[in-house]
Each structure stands twice: as C-alpha cells, then as structure tokens.
Amino acid sequence: MSVSRRSVTLFACLLTLGVLLGLFAPRPLRAAEEYNFAGSAQLDYHYVASGPRNQDVPGPSSTFQGFTMEAGLKVAVDISDHLSANVKACYGCHGFDIDMAYFDYRARDEFNLRVGRFSPSFGAFNLRHDPANHMLSDKPLPYDMGRMLRKGDWNNGVLPSPFPSSGVEIGGSHWAGTTLQFDYALYAVTGFKNYNDPHPTDLNFQETHLPYFVGSAVRPATGARLAFTARGSATVDATLGASGMLGSYDLKSELTYVIVGADFALRVQRTAFRFEYLLRRQQFDTQNPDIFKYAIAERGGDFFTKQGAFAEVEQPLSSLFDVTARVDGMLRRGNVSNLAIGSGADAATSLSPLAYRSYVIRETLGLECALERNFRLKGSAEFWQFSYPDSLGQKTALSMHVGAVGSF
C-alpha cells in the first residue's frame, strides 16, 4: 500500500486531536438515540427535440433521452449531543451506491470530525444535490453526472455530484455575533480513480461508484473549503466560498488532478441567486501518443483544463409555483484522447469530436409545481450551444424535461 507517510501522520494527528477534544468536551448524562428516516425519488423524462444522437443507446458520444430514475433513502441517527451518524443509499443511472455512511463527532461548533464515506466539502451545490432539494430536473453542468447532451464527449461535468469517497474530514462553523458565519473544512479522502485504462487520460467516475470502494494504491486526495456567510438583515444573506482539492488517480499515483472552485449565493426573502465556478486541471499519461487527437506539445502537453460555471435565479411565484432560470456552461482546453474513458483499450478506433478548445453553453427555464407538500412536478426547457458540430452539422439542440419528485 503506497499511502504516503505524511498522510498517515496527518490522519493520526487529526484523530488524536479529535479524541482529546472529545475527552474535555462536556458530556450528556444519557445517550438517547433518535432515528430519522428521509427519502426522495425523482422520475424524469428527457426529450431531445433535435440532434442525431438522440436515438443512440447510452454510451460514448450518446445523448441520453428517455426516463431516468433517481432515488435515495437516508437514515440520520443522533446518538448523543456530540455524536451522530448518517447512512444514505441512492439509486441512479450508475446503479446502487452508498452516498453517505459516516459518523460526525462534534466536540464543539468549531470542531467536527467526520469519518466514513461522504462527499467532501466542495462548492455549494453538493449540499442540495438530492433532486428533492433543487428545482430543476438536472444538475448544473459543472456538477453533471451523465444527464448532459454529448456526455460521452465530455466525460460528464467538472466534478460530478455527489462525489462520495472514503476518508476523514475536519470542519466547523463559527459565528461572529449574529451576522457573520465562518465555515471551514479540511479533508483527506480516497479520491477519484482510473485503474481500468493502461494509459489513463481522465478520471473514470464510474469506478467511484463501483461496489469495490477500496483505493488500493493511490495516495489520499486532500482538500479544503472556506466560506463566509453574512446576514445583511433578517431576510437577506450572502455566502462567499472557495474550495480546492488535489489528488492522483492512477495506480502509480503519478497523474494528478487539481480542482478549484468559487461560489457566491445571495438570498433576499425566498428569492435565491447562485453562482459557481469550477476549474479542473487534469494530468494525463502521454506514453502512448497514438491515442491522442493532436501531437503532444513539449511544454504543457500532459494536461487539459476543464472549466465550468453556472448562474441561476430561483423565484417562488405562489404557494404552488416556483420558476428557475439558469445559464451554465463548460470550456475544455487541451489535447483530446480518442479512447472512451474506462474502456481499457489501448488503440483508438475513431476520432473524438472535441477540439483542442471546446465549449458548451446551456440556457434553462424551468417551472416547478407543488401538487402536495411532498410531491412536485418539474418541467424545463433547455437550449444547448456547442462549439463543434455533430454528425449532421448541428451546433445547437433543444431539449425538455418533465418529471415528478416526491420526498418524505
């Protein structure tokens, strides 16, 4: 096992610190376990009005048209004032996954030790990734996990959400008076992988969701998040955050990925404006130059960058309706592999449609209708613009979502 000595030392120090803080923290007289079950399910139909790939089956370069189902069941247990546990199983396009299985040991507001499987703190969207907690049928492009058009070309978003991983996270919150909230998080987790490909060129997100969760040879990915929330008045608050993650994803721990992000959210009454920006710098194996679309540059030829951003406004219209408008997009720069990620192949059979610089922009308008408190209908229309044409020469596409989501 090639986990670095420094990481092991860091983990041991954090664990020791947590235990020591816990020993000195005031204890409840009794530990009464309280269970809370929660769950959600969303069925969505995605109709693609244009584009030659809309009849393809899911896979590389395909557009997913049809029904998708996402469901999750969560159990939260408050074991004591200081200890709680969360377990969440979810079902989606990738099959079943354990999205959460962790303990939170909270010595005080400013120090929480989280151990287990969880999505490490990155960005603001992931807290709302459950389909019952966001108004549109799909996620913003930087966080897309397989619902976008031409997803095979792009290998999903910048950081497909959720991104559960096994590890440890230390975090906490501190309030300065009643107007300023400061949050921090530091973590070391298994991180992303691509063990299937002999010459990896990108993260294989599918491997993260396989039942065999062990990251046998990679160093832990490490990261941090800082956020400030300020309350201007009783009905106005704004949050500004910054996140970063660094890891390696190949069996030899030689190929790195760095993801950084910034987020801003403003809330006035129940109107919400959100903006997030993410950038991933992804190193790839250049030992087999034949698999690349372009010649390998001598300087800076061993990585690509993928940027993504979204801005959205959510506006409640009445006790029944909410409207959401969103603009999101991604920009990829760098050499292009002609192999499907995770295929394990070492020889390309066709060219990737991506160019050295490719982008996608999407504009979405959605309406949500609450039939019951726990049951809502979602509808949205999306207009897509790509920098490269498809096989019919089209650079634009129109798609629509109609779905229903229930929660309990």
- 83 vs 331 by CB, closer to other proteins: 83
* Alpha helix segments (H runs only) across 76-164: 151-154
What is the closest distance, in whole angstroms, from the C-beta atom of residue 146 to other proteins in the complex? Answer: 23
C-beta of 374 vs 396, nearer to other proteins: 374
Smaller CB separation from other proteins, 81 or 346: 81
**260 vs 242: CA distance, rounded Å:** 8
Question: Is residue 391 a contact partner of residue 52, using CB atoms and an 8 Å limit?
Answer: yes
Which two tokens mark 364?
């979405």
Closer CB to other proteins, residue 86 or residue 352? 86
Q: In terms of CB distance, is 132 or 245 closer to other proteins?
A: 132
| Residues within the interface to other proteins (CB under 8 A) | 32, 34, 36, 38, 76, 78, 81, 84, 106, 109, 112, 121, 124, 127-128, 130, 132-133, 171-173, 175, 178, 181, 183, 185, 225, 227, 229, 231, 234-235, 237, 239, 241, 265, 267, 269-270, 272, 316-323, 365, 367, 370, 373-374, 376, 407-408
CA proximity to 104, closest of 223, 214, 185, 210: 185
Shortest spacing between CB 204 and other proteins, in angstroms: 29
For residue 407, the minimal CB distance to other proteins (Å) is 6
Q: How far is CA 75 from the centre of its chain?
A: 21
Report the nearest approach of other proteins to the CB of residue 76 (Å).
Answer: 7
DSSP, residue by residue, 199-211: S--S--HHHHTSS
315 burial (CB, 10 Å; 0-12 / 13-18 / 19+) is middle
C-alpha pair distances (Å), 92 with each of 28, 42, 71, 195, 282: 39, 10, 7, 23, 26
- At its nearest, how many Å lie between other proteins and the CB of residue 164? 17
- Using a 10 angstrom Cβ sphere, with 0-12 exposed, 13-18 middle and 19 or more buried, the burial of residue 41 is middle
Whichever of 94 and 128 has its CB closer to other proteins, that residue is 128
CB of 172 to other proteins, least distance (A): 8
Question: Is 78 in contact with 34 (CB distance < 8 Å)?
Answer: yes
